[in-house]
Structure 1
Amino acid sequence: MLSIPEFYQGKNVLITGATGFMGKVLLEKLLRSCPNTKAVYVLVRHKAGQKPRERVAEMMSCKLFDKLRDEQPDCAQKVIAISSELTQPELDMSKEDQDTLIDCIDIVFHCAATVRFNESLRDAMQLNVIATRQLLYLAQKMKKLEVFIHVSTAYANCNRKQIEEVVYPPPVDPKKLIESLEWMDDSLVNDITPKLIGDRPNTYTYTKALAEYVVQQEGSKLNIAIVRPSIVGASWKEPFPGWIDNFNGPSGLFIAAGKGILRTMRASNNAVADLIPVDVVVNTTLAAAWYSGVNRYSRPKNMLVYNCTTGGTNPFHWGEVEYYINVSFKMNPLEQALRRPNVNLRNNPLLHQYWTTVSHIVPAMMYDAILRLTGQKPWMMKTITRLHRAMMLLEYFTSNSWVWNNENTNMLMSQLSPEDKKVFNFDVRQLHWAEYMENYCMGTKKYVLNEEMSGLPAARKHLNKLRNIRYGFNTILVVLIWRVFIARSQMARNIWYFVVSMCFKFLSYFRASSTMRY
């Protein structure tokens, strides 16, 4: 059987979503580990006055591609930007570009999707379902196409507690829903959305489930596989540990905790935090395309689905996430933190609400009041409000656990040669969570906030200053409570004097013991 690099040799690859988080890592890994790939076509839309070619050039100049540029200085010449808007008819692609793709593409990686949990149903359907269907129509015309990989999510069927590696029947016929959305106005769509998504938490998971069914039905004549990652996080090893470039998902919460803004979060300590490093997802995706490609003439009738998760083989819990966040950011603090990192997870809603008020809302109001008094623009309450919205969107995933079947993923791993297992490693049993979380937190500091490592001593000094301020504040608070409440009671004063005298006796005994010893 061909090795993975040999399979991609001389191939023309099409990637959607290449400017997104996972798409960037997929492009980098493909070019670096499969250097004989002929060309990679990426669908990119115009944005902020930048042409697709300019966006790709800017993307490939970032640190993620440093290692690739060192090894292959001319790698950018293999990347061809195609102007396209996936939400528009015919993908808003010129006839010339369509003909080019139809004539030359061998492999398609469909990574593009809206990952916003609070997206309107109409917009989520447009990008996650309708765009997928249009891309499949184009793929059916491709003369040399060997394999089509659709990147979904492990939470597409999160209304089930046990999720197999199969495409489940959709909650509604996608075609009928698309037709209905054409005549509905936005207010009507918003009104019926809760009834449509039912026991799913948001439009993202709902539309990704519909997209899987569309892939199964519309792509029945194509050689297709589906990869389902869980919560995609920072890189584990490649191209370097801890790479992350956005605030999406848990990354924004990690940063808020490191800054001392996030102090309490609704989550179950015992629930599995099914984080999956982005390079693990990319290696699984490249291997899935290889396996489907080399076995395309003997492929099974049912398309292969790969649950790319960690919970079943190397479980990691939200309580452990809390611990490692606090430890990592105290050891390697973020610059200009507002408070010492000390996030706590609480499953009880009333307790969580109490601590939200005490540790988030009240301090934010006080901070904004100080800003106003000093003539500055208040911003803390707005930040807290946005943070609470983000936490509400994630509560469903931080309070529940799922059981995913990983038979196909394990089978895929067993088919790799020893060399491919090293280069395209996705064996999460080897993942050491303490090390990964430290690199993840450090990655948010270096690559998201762009903080230099040379600033660590000053950041640690600032954190010690915050600790001293906290101790001083707590001391003043205890004295005030004593003066206002306890000092008025004779019994309380007697207890206080007894405790103080016992402390003095203990100190005297300790000092006498030390003197005798020397």
Structure 2
Amino acid sequence: MSAESPEGRDLDEVGGEEEAAAAAGGQSRPTGDDMASVVEYYAGKNVLITGATGFMGKVLVEKLLRSCPDVQALYILVRPKAGQSMQQRVSDMMKCKLFDRVREDNPDFHQKIIPISSELMQPGLAISPEDQERLKACIDIVFHCAATIRFDEPLKHALQLNVIATQQLLGLAQQMHHLQAFIHISTAYANCNRKHIDEVIYPPPVEPKKLIESLEWMDDGIVLDITPRLIGDRPNTYTYTKALAEYVVQQEQDRLNIGIIRPSIVGASWQEPFPGWIDNFNGPSGVFIAAGKGILRTMRANNDAVADLIPVDTVINLTLAAGWYTAVHRPKTALVYNCTTGGINPFHWGEIEHHVMSSFKRNPLEQAFRRPNANITSNYLINQYWILVSHKFPALIYDLFLRLSGQKPQMMRIFNRLHKAISLLEYFSSQDWEWNSENMSMLMSQLTPEDRKTFNFDVRQLNWPEYIENYCIGTKKYVLNEDMSDIPAARQHLRKLRNIRYTFNTLLVVFIWRVFIARSQMARNIWYFVVSLCFKFLSYFRASSTLTN
């Protein structure tokens, strides 16, 4: 997957003059107090964040609190869960290691976080009338991060979370007395049925209102049957509903100042609050962990295709800068930012495979199933062969061992879940896209040198091998909660697995000899010929080495 840089122009030069940038984007010129820096802009502001307990939402909350310490308050919509109150969820979130740097600077940072009970699946987002009035009276900027990111989400559910909830939030935003910007987090793959994707809102595959009305009366079975025809040439309900949501947001551009952020595959942090922070198994993280554990041995992907990973802190820095720019310049039309790396600093799936394997051999995960050794292939038949030989066959043997030892078999179930997850990613790992990123470049040119450091989203500076190394270590430390001091023991475990593999291979050769070769004169002759040939080559190289010395 790839993104294209704008005509090869330098990122610092694109949109250089403020007047030119304003004219190109249809913005009105900023005046007076509007010329504040990004940090100064957020001082005293009340911010509403949806999806704040999710991966990107947490990073957004942390960045605002750390880099904009004078922000007035962060109102976050939180869904109470069974057995856990809204306050407990927020308290658990703030105990996360992600907030360690904020906690050091301001131990009372939690006082600026104000949770609002909400449920995206309910009418009006289930926000109480009192809380609605409170938000209408004080909110200055909205960051809408909440969405379902499950690729295989049933269409009705995805439509409710990604489209209808966005409509309802926009309705609330229109009633906010002091709102200056509404920033919507979309995805670079909302229009993945196109090969070249500009920073524009494309016509929706269907009118959202008509689709919502049509699905209201249908039962889940009917919706499931017609889903493939509805989503057409898009791979899943996620990309389909995110495209609809962009159109819904665009419809409000005459009433609200709107910015839309389109990140590609969001991965671990690059620099902030520390390298490699990640807290989930979603996307590439689960694949990396499966490969590091030696469970994943093969994956269908194009080695030469661009793996358009984007670090989460890069996305958040761009999001906050876009919030500032949208509020200050008040664009007449919604500005779209393709937040991608492929056209600016490309890295390929084959390179990722190499660096992930190398990293996990240097910093192995604890209790690996096998030594890390995954291979990428674009050939379907070869991939199926390796799934059978390297996944299913070992899983059957291991489950048999568990049964004989009185334990519950689990390995085949794990592999089935892994194959399902990888199959959902194949569409994105087997082809390329080209994204226009002129607005991302223009925004960078509008920042002061200090803001460029504080809110860095210049992916030209990204060192991929170093980033992948930190990413793999991050999965070990923050997702699996493994101690780095245990690495020597983990390396010893890998050596043990290597010895087991050598022993197994030796026994297999002996077995093949006894069963097939030793009983056939022709097979023995071929065997002796091959062995003698090998000895001749060894003798030749040894003699050449002696003469050279």
Query: What's the TM-score once normalised by structure 1's chain length?
Result: 0.96
Number of corresponding residues: 515
Shift of 1:375: 0.4
Counterpart for residue 480 of structure 2: 449
1:255 lines up with 2:301 in the alignment? no
Superposed counterparts of 1:67-466, under 5 Å? 67-296=101-330, 299=331, 301-466=332-497
CA contact (8 A) 1:271 1:398 kept: yes
Distance 1:514 1:395, change over 3 A: closer
Question: In the aligned structure 1, how far is the partner of 2:205 from the partner of 2:40?
Answer: 41
Question: In the aligned structure 1, how far is the partner of 2:490 from the partner of 2:382?
Answer: 32
Distance 1:96 1:477, change over 3 A: same
Question: In the aligned structure 1, how far is the partner of 2:120 from the partner of 2:222?
Answer: 25
The 3-state SS of whatever aligns with 1:256 is: helix
CA contact (8 A) 2:310 2:339 kept: yes
Question: In the aligned structure 2, how far is the partner of 1:510 from the partner of 1:128?
Answer: 66
| Deviations, residues 270-296 of structure 1 (Å, cap 9, x unaligned) | 111110000000000000001111112
Shift of 1:155: 0.3
RMSD, matched Cα = 1.7
Counterpart for residue 56 of structure 1: 90
Query: What's the TM-score once normalised by structure 2's chain length?
Result: 0.91
Question: In the aligned structure 1, how far is the partner of 2:175 from the partner of 2:39?
Answer: 26
Which runs of 5 or more structure 2 residues have no equivalent in the other structure? 1-34
Shift of 1:220: 3.0
Shift of 1:388: 0.8
> Could you tell which deviates more after superposition, 50-59 or 418-427?
50-59
Shift of 1:302: 2.0
Shift of 1:404: 0.3
Identical counterparts, % of pairs: 73
Counterpart for residue 52 of structure 2: 18
The 3-state SS of whatever aligns with 1:145 is: coil
Question: In the aligned structure 2, how far is the partner of 1:153 from the partner of 1:504?
Answer: 59
Which amino acid in structure 2 is aligned with residue 32 of structure 1?
Answer: R
CA contact (8 A) 2:253 2:334 kept: no
Distance 1:207 1:509, change over 3 A: closer
Which amino acid in structure 1 is aligned with residue 99 of structure 2?
Answer: F
Shift of 1:350: 1.3
Question: In the aligned structure 2, how far is the partner of 1:249 from the partner of 1:268?
Answer: 17
Question: In the aligned structure 1, how far is the partner of 2:434 from the partner of 2:543?
Answer: 61
The 3-state SS of whatever aligns with 1:485 is: helix
CA contact (8 A) 2:258 2:333 kept: no
Distance 1:216 1:502, change over 3 A: closer
Question: In the aligned structure 1, how far is the partner of 2:469 from the partner of 2:155?
Answer: 37
1:9 lines up with 2:43 in the alignment? yes
Question: In the aligned structure 1, how far is the partner of 2:351 from the partner of 2:157?
Answer: 36
Which amino acid in structure 1 is aligned with residue 339 of structure 2?
Answer: C
| Deviations, residues 130-176 of structure 1 (Å, cap 9, x unaligned) | 00000000000000000000000000000000000000000000001
Question: In the aligned structure 2, how far is the partner of 1:263 from the partner of 1:345?
Answer: 9
Shift of 1:52: 1.6
Question: In the aligned structure 2, how far is the partner of 1:164 from the partner of 1:75?
Answer: 39
Shift of 1:482: 2.1
CA contact (8 A) 2:190 2:243 kept: yes
Distance 1:487 1:427, change over 3 A: same
Which amino acid in structure 2 is aligned with residue 245 of structure 1?
Answer: D
CA contact (8 A) 1:11 1:105 kept: yes
CA contact (8 A) 1:133 1:218 kept: no
- Following TM superposition, where does structure 1 have runs of at least 4 consecutive aligned residues deviating by more than 6 angstroms? 505-518
> Could you tell which deviates more after superposition, 13-22 or 317-326?
317-326
Question: In the aligned structure 2, how far is the partner of 1:171 from the partner of 1:497?
Answer: 67
Question: In the aligned structure 2, how far is the partner of 1:503 from the partner of 1:139?
Answer: 76
Aligned partner (choices 486, 500, 505) of residue 469 of structure 1: 500
Question: In the aligned structure 1, how far is the partner of 2:235 from the partner of 2:89?
Answer: 34
Question: In the aligned structure 1, how far is the partner of 2:544 from the partner of 2:283?
Answer: 56
Which amino acid in structure 1 is aligned with residue 460 of structure 2?
Answer: R
CA contact (8 A) 2:73 2:113 kept: yes
Shift of 1:514: 9.0
Shift of 1:483: 2.2
Question: In the aligned structure 2, how far is the partner of 1:318 from the partner of 1:512?
Answer: 42
Which amino acid in structure 2 is aligned with residue 200 of structure 1?
Answer: R
Considering Cα pairs closer than 8 Å and 6+ residues apart, tell me whether 1 or 2 has the greater RCO. Answer: 2
Question: In the aligned structure 2, how far is the partner of 1:110 from the partner of 1:512?
Answer: 72
Question: In the aligned structure 2, how far is the partner of 1:155 from the partner of 1:224?
Answer: 20
Question: In the aligned structure 2, how far is the partner of 1:68 from the partner of 1:101?
Answer: 25
Shift of 1:510: 7.8
Shift of 1:491: 4.5
Which amino acid in structure 2 is aligned with residue 368 of structure 1?
Answer: D
Question: In the aligned structure 1, how far is the partner of 2:299 from the partner of 2:548?
Answer: 50
Which amino acid in structure 2 is aligned with residue 397 of structure 1?
Answer: F
CA contact (8 A) 2:278 2:479 kept: yes
Counterpart for residue 519 of structure 2: 488
Shift of 1:246: 0.4
Question: In the aligned structure 2, how far is the partner of 1:387 from the partner of 1:498?
Answer: 44
The 3-state SS of whatever aligns with 1:141 is: coil
Superposed counterparts of 1:32-51, under 5 Å? 32-51=66-85
CA contact (8 A) 2:261 2:337 kept: yes
